[in-house]
Amino acid sequence: MQSSVNRDGRLPDPDELIAEGETPFADAAVPTAREKADQDLNALRQELRLLKARIGVLREDAEAALKAKATSVDANAHVQLGDYPWLKLAAAIAATFVAARVVRNIPFGVMLAGFAGHLTEARRL
């Protein structure tokens, strides 16, 4: 790089002062390490804010989807089982429990005799 004043006392042409590959005003253009770190930190903070906003949107979408699914399941249960679907479902479970207890108390021989009668009927056909 040349000096700022030519031999004849004139100021040089600005293009002459810049060597090839050198940036103009090199000392002003180069940020200090602290400035670069601050810029990187600000960029990361901005990206973090954007990611938090996206996560918030995804969370809201998931909540809305779950609420819609729960409403759909409830409506479907009302269509299939009537006005009190959970009461009817509980009654069906209780009836199944009672029937299982009754079947356990029947002697095994009686059940086999009943099945034997069905088997002989099936063989005749």
Do residues 59 and 91 share a domain? Answer: no
Do residues 93 and 120 share a domain? Answer: yes
CA 77, chain centre distance (Å)? 27
Q: Which domain holds residue 104?
A: 83-124
The pLDDT profile of the chain, 125 residues, written as one tens digit per residue, is 445 555 666 766 666 656 555 555 555 556 688 888 999 999 999 999 999 999 999 999 999 999 999 999 888 878 887 788 888 889 999 999 999 998 888 777 777 777 787 777 777 76
Report the amino acid identity of residue 102.
V
3-state DSSP call for residue 125?
coil
Do residues 39 and 70 share a domain? Answer: yes
Do residues 117 and 100 share a domain? Answer: yes
Total domains in the chain come to 2
Number of residues assigned to the chain:
125
Token pair belonging to 72: 């759909």
Does residue 69 contact residue 77 with C-beta atoms inside 8 Å?
A: no
- Measured CA distances, 50 to 11, 45, 125 (Å): 50, 9, 77
Tell me, what's the pLDDT at 117?
79
Do residues 111 and 90 share a domain? Answer: yes
How many angstroms separate the CA atoms of 55 and 62, rounded? 10
- Residue 22 domain-assigned (yes or no): no
